[in-house]
Amino acid sequence: MKQILMVGAGSVGGFFGAHLAKANPAVSFLLRPKTLAAVKQNGLTIRSAQGSFTVHPPAASDPRDLPKPDLIILSVKAYDLDEVMNQIEPVLTDQTVILTLQNGVDTEDRIVARFQRDCVVGGIAFIYSKIAAPGVIDHYKKGAVAIGEMMGHHSPRLLAIADLFKQAGIPCQLTEDVRRSKWEKMCWNCVFNPLTVMIDDKVAKALDHPEMLRVIHQIVGEVVAVAATVKVPLAADMAEKVVRWTSEIRDIHTSMYDDWKAGRPTEIDFLNGYVAKVGREFGIPTPLNDMLTAVIKTITGWDRTGPGVVWIDGAVVQAVSFDRAAIASLPAEHQLDISTVMPGMKGKGIRVKGLLDIPALAIGADHVTMHSGDGNYSACLSLEQAKAFGVLVYELDGEPLPESKGGPFRLVTPGLGDLCANVKGVARIEVTIGTGTDTRLSVRANC
């Protein structure tokens, strides 16, 4: 294996790839543009109590600009796998080997299904490191890998990969049952990745409470039950092993915690979400993994902004957002057939009063300003006017109101007379104490 391609230089790939590159000039990197620019300018730096160093490996954002690889090492997040397979496909040959160093248990099957050949060696990374900046990795604990053929044999390619790691000073264990090893790590990941996010703290906080220990056993029990259905039997004392392993690294956060704090997506769908999905397919109850998946998505989900979402904020106790489905679920007493206010059009609207009934308005709030999403238009109404006459149109002929008709949300004020307001593309409803901005040339203009 002469040429090695590292895909990604994050907390895992950056650490292992840099060590491989330090020992082997034939290691190159496939990187995203921001990381690529940093590595090209400053190199790839590992900062560690065990010794810091910088390497300057060949790198590109297109694998066709690098030497054709004999070995590709994947260290990207599980949710990026499909994109990465598209990227590397042009440089694959019948002899190319792919080593996976990713969380989750279905990566290898996804790769084989895509490329339709025996090209995968499974791997597990044991490391605690963080991305300090693009091209800079801070390493704190561990730094070893376990690798294995999916069929369990010690093939020449497996031994060759192990030699590459050992030559780079990276401990590399050969496992005869890599699927089981990955499911064992899955047990740990399904416990502490979501729990550290939920408690907003290190693993020690979860580890030190007797009540939480019982929960840990229940979470692991669900993972073990699901693993058994896919013919991967795990030890009966798996939960005790997870707790024992964690005692040695009790001062750490987790990759999911770090991703959350950095504003990156999490791998919840490939950890607890995967366990819950397989559990449903086989009729195995997984209530805790279902709950953890839902809670993590709720905690880490981006604030919904942009087309299709309207916010109510300003002089309210807590800002709230609505999409079309949320608006449609509001009480029928606030819903309106828009043909009654816009003749010739068949659709739905919601009275602004129904929207304003949701948030708790600040004491003294007396005006409401409707803002278009592009920020160019707004109309300010008194609170009484908005509640009595405001209608937000959100649906036309059973579909979202199109932009050509002022969608996805359009304010109309039938019955307000010469003071009428009509704002297309409403994205924000601002509650104010006193008047807000109004871009209408004249509030007496006709609608």
Residue 286 pLDDT > 90: yes
| DSSP-H helix ranges across 43-122 | 81-88, 107-115
Report pLDDT for 111.
96
Residue 305's pLDDT is what?
55
Q: Under DSSP, is residue 303 helix (H, G, I), strand (E, B) or coil?
A: coil
Report the share of the chain in percent with pLDDT over 90: 83
- Residue 338 has which token pair? 């828009």
Number of structural domains in the chain? 3
pLDDT in tens, 143-168: 999 999 999 999 999 999 999 999 99
The DSSP bridge pattern shows strands 136-149 and 399-400 to be unpaired
Question: What per-residue confidence (pLDDT) applies to 306?
Answer: 59
| Token pair in block for residue 203 | 């693993």
Write down which residue in 124, 154, 176 finishes a domain: 176
Looking at residue 302, its pLDDT comes to: 59
Q: What is the dihedral of CA 115, 119, 123, 128, to 10 degrees?
A: -60
Residue 403 has pLDDT above 70, yes or no: yes
Report d(CA 375, CA 356) in Å as an integer: 21
Higher pLDDT, 36 or 445: 36
pLDDT tier at 310, thresholds 50, 70, 90: very high
Distance CA 139, CA 170 (A): 13
Pairwise CA distance, residues 23 & 44, whole Å:
14
- Do 334 and 249 belong together in one domain? no
In a domain, 201, yes or no: yes
Q: Residue 170 in contact with residue 146, Cβ under 8 Å? A: no
User: What's the rounded mean pLDDT across residues 261-281?
Assistant: 95
Q: Are 8 and 30 in contact (CB under 8 A)?
A: yes
Residue with tokens 């819950």: 276
Provide the pLDDT for residue 443. Answer: 54
* Residue 205 scores a pLDDT above 70: yes
Shared-domain flag, residues 8 and 145: yes
Q: Tell which residue, 243, 280, 249, has the closest CA to residue 144.
A: 249
447 in any annotated domain: no
- Dihedral angle over CA of 382, 388, 390, 391, nearest 10: 160
Domain that holds residue 407: 309-432
Instruction: State whether 114 and 34 are in the same domain.
Output: yes
Q: What is the pLDDT of residues 39-67, one digit of tens each?
A: 999 999 999 988 999 999 999 999 999 99
Q: What are phi and psi of 443, to 5 degrees?
A: -70, -5
Alpha-carbon separation of residue 287 from 195, 210, 273, 295 (angstroms): 15, 20, 11, 12
In a domain, 443, yes or no: no
50, 126: one domain: yes
Residue type at 208? D
Tens of pLDDT, residue by residue over 207-250, are 888 899 999 999 999 999 999 999 999 999 999 999 998 888 88
pLDDT at residue 249, as a whole number: 85
Q: What is the pLDDT of residue 10?
A: 94
419-433 average pLDDT score: 92
Amino acid at 4: I
pLDDT tens digits, one per residue of 357-388: 999 999 999 999 999 998 899 999 999 999 99
Contact 438, 381 (CB under 8 A): no
- Rounded Cα–Cα distance for residues 357 and 386 (Å): 12
Do residues 39 and 64 share a domain? yes
When comparing pLDDT for 315 and 342, which is higher? 315
Would residue 441 count as lying in a domain? no
88, 105, 123, 128 from 83: Cα distances, Å: 9, 18, 20, 25
Residues of the chain with pLDDT > 70, as a percent, come to: 97
Residue 310, strand partner residues:
322
Check whether residue 267 and residue 316 sit in a common domain: no
The identity of residue 386, as a single letter, is A
Beta-carbon-side half-sphere exposure of residue 29 (alpha carbons within 13 Å):
32
In a domain, 439, yes or no: no
| Residue 96 CA: distances (Å) to CA of 147, 194, 280, 412 | 17, 35, 36, 62
- In this model, does residue 447 exceed pLDDT 70? no
Q: What residues contact 427, with CB distance under 8 A and at least 6 apart?
A: 305, 306, 307, 309, 310, 311, 371, 372, 373, 409
| 440 located within any domain | no
Confidence of residue 444 (pLDDT cuts 50, 70, 90): very low
Strand partners, 428: 311, 371
Smallest Cα–Cα separation from 45: which of 133, 110, 104?
133
Which candidate, 308, 415, 402, places its Cα nearest to that of 351? 415
Query: Which residue among 257, 273, 300 closes a domain?
Result: 300
Domain shared by 80 and 66, yes or no: yes
| DSSP output for 368-396 | EEEEETTSS-EEEEEHHHHHHH-EEEEEE
> Would you say how long the chain is, in residues?
447
Domain boundary among 300, 317, 337: 300
Are 437 and 375 a contacting pair, CB within 8 Å?
Answer: no
Query: What CATH number should be reported for the domain holding residue 67?
Result: 3.40.50.720
Q: Do 235 and 331 belong to one domain?
A: no
Higher pLDDT, 270 or 302: 270
- The tokens of 391 are what? 């209608």
**Burial of residue 291, with CB atoms counted within 10 A of its CB: 0-12 exposed, 13-18 middle, 19 or more buried:** middle
pLDDT above 80 for 202 = yes
> Which letter, b or e, does each residue of 192-224 get, where b requires 16 or more Cβ atoms within 10 Å of its Cβ?
bbbbbbeeeebbeebbeeeeeeeebeebbebbb
Domain presence at residue 446: no
Q: What is the mean pLDDT of residues 259-277?
A: 94
Q: Are 223 and 183 in contact (CB under 8 A)?
A: yes
Residue 445 has pLDDT above 60, yes or no: no
Across the chain, mean pLDDT equals: 93
**The pLDDT value given to residue 209:** 87
Integer Rg of the chain from CA? 28
For residue 227, give the CATH number of its domain: 1.10.1040.10
More confident site: 300 or 303? 300
> Do 188 and 316 reside in the same domain of the chain?
no
Q: For the whole model, what pTM was predicted?
A: 0.74
Regarding whether 384 and 239 lie in a shared domain, the answer is no
Same domain, 261 and 332: no
Structure tokens at 190: 């399904």
Name the residue among 436, 438, 413 with its Cα closest to residue 365.
436
125 and 218 housed in the same domain = no
| Cβ–Cβ < 8 Å for 423, 443 | no
Burial label, 3 (beta-carbon count in 10 A; 0-12, 13-18, 19+): middle
Strand, coil or helix: what is 313? strand
